[in-house]
Each structure stands twice: as C-alpha cells, then as structure tokens.
C-alpha cells in the first residue's frame, strides 16, 4: 500500500517588515483596551481599523481575522474571550502570524505571555509585537520578550500600588471613596 502525505493548504509566503523576514501568510490581529472610557474606546476602534488596513494592504497576507477584547484587563487571560478564540484558531492551524500593538496588549503577566507565545511557537505561529519590533520566531525574539514582558508586568503592579495608595490617602483625608451619596441625602 502506498504512503500518502497530506499537505495542508495555505502555503508559506515571504514578507519583509521592519527588516525582519516573516515567512507567513494567514495573518490575524489582536487588539485590546482595558477600560471603557471614551479615550480607550477610541483607541480600540483605531487599533481595529489600523490592523484591518495593514493586513489588507499587504499583498502577501490574507486576513485571518481581527480578534478584539474591549474593556478587559490584560491581567486576566481567562476573561478575554476573543484572545482565547485567537489562541484556539492558531492551535487549529488557521493562523500563521498574529500582529499586536505591544506586549502589554497581548498579556500583562510574564508567565501568561511566555506560556501563550511558546504554545504558538510550537505550532510555528509567529507573534509580532509592533511597538517593540519583536517577532517570536526569530533567534532573539524570546529573549527580548522575556525582558520586556517583565517590564510590562512591573508596570501593572506599579499602577495597582499607586491606585491603592491614592485611595488610602483619600480615606485618610476623610473623603468618600466609591460613594456618590444616597438619594435624598447630602454629605457635608
């Protein structure tokens, strides 16, 4: 009996971006904002529009999808439904490369960042972080990613500490925190 080798469709193409050769074709983008403030929502819509245009303008790429989580923190991966859908689609072989604005848009926790990047790397799926100019399939990609994702995690911890300190200072001054008053009552 003859041995048959099945070759999956969507062959490799070569594209060059910022001096880095990316031999991939089916490209998806991941966008995220952490709050539902007006500025953040504008950033969200801008990210979606930018990546849709970027992928569609590159003749060597085909759109594999725009995955976007709105008003969700980057520290809780399990609550980011589109992120989970993106990872599943990558693991199913539907995506060759993921583009995202920065490491902090992908994940704010070093362990989560490395966990998902390594899972995708095993499937030969690149993650390209535009702001940091990191392609995870390059030789130095993971080293840079470890360093910069640690910085992103530290940034989250600093923001959290500053918010807690600010709330504590308000309470020490006797200001109400998280209280807008009961209907019919005034606060002096």
Mean pLDDT per 10-residue section of the chain, whose length is 188 residues: 42 54 77 71 81 90 89 69 94 95 83 90 94 90 81 74 81 76 61
Looking at residue 10, its pLDDT comes to: 44
- Residues with Cβ within 8 Å of 124's Cβ and at least 6 positions away in sequence, in order, are 96, 137
Q: Looking up tokens 């080798």, which residue turns up?
A: 5
Looking at residue 8, its pLDDT comes to: 40
Looking at residue 27, its pLDDT comes to: 95
Looking at residue 184, its pLDDT comes to: 64
Looking at residue 40, its pLDDT comes to: 66
Looking at residue 88, its pLDDT comes to: 95
pTM over 0.85: no
- Domain boundaries defined on the chain: 15-172
Q: 15-172 adopts what CATH topology?
A: Rossmann fold (3.40.50)
Phi, psi of 20 (to 5 degrees): -110, 125
Phi, psi of 62 (to 5 degrees): -120, 145
Put residue 19 in one of left, alpha, beta given phi > 0 → left and psi -120 to 50 → alpha: left
Looking at residue 169, its pLDDT comes to: 83
As given in the structure block, the two tokens for residue 130 are 């535009």
Distance CA 86, CA 61 (A): 17
Return the closest-CA partner of residue 125 out of 99, 144, 152, 145.
99
Looking at residue 183, its pLDDT comes to: 61
């Amino acid at each position: 009996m003859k041995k048959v080798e099945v070759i999956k469709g969507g062959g490799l193409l070569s594209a060059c971006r910022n001096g880095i050769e990316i031999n991939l074709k089916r490209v998806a983008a991941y966008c995220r904002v952490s709050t539902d403030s007006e500025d953040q929502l504008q950033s969200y819509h801008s990210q979606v529009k930018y990546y849709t245009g970027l992928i569609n303008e590159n003749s060597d790429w085909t759109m594999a999808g725009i995955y976007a989580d709105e008003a969700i923190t980057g520290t809780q991966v399990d609550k980011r439904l589109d992120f989970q859908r993106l990872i599943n689609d990558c693991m199913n072989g539907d995506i060759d490369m993921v583009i995202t604005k920065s490491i902090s848009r992908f994940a704010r926790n070093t362990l989560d960042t490395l966990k998902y990047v390594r899972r995708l790397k095993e499937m030969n799926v690149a993650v390209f972080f535009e702001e940091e100019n990191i392609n995870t399939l390059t030789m130095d990609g993971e080293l840079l990613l470890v360093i910069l994702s640690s910085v992103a995690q530290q940034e989250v911890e600093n923001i959290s500490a500053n918010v807690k300190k600010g709330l504590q200072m308000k309470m020490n001054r006797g200001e109400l925190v998280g209280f807008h008053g009961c209907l019919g009552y005034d606060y002096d």
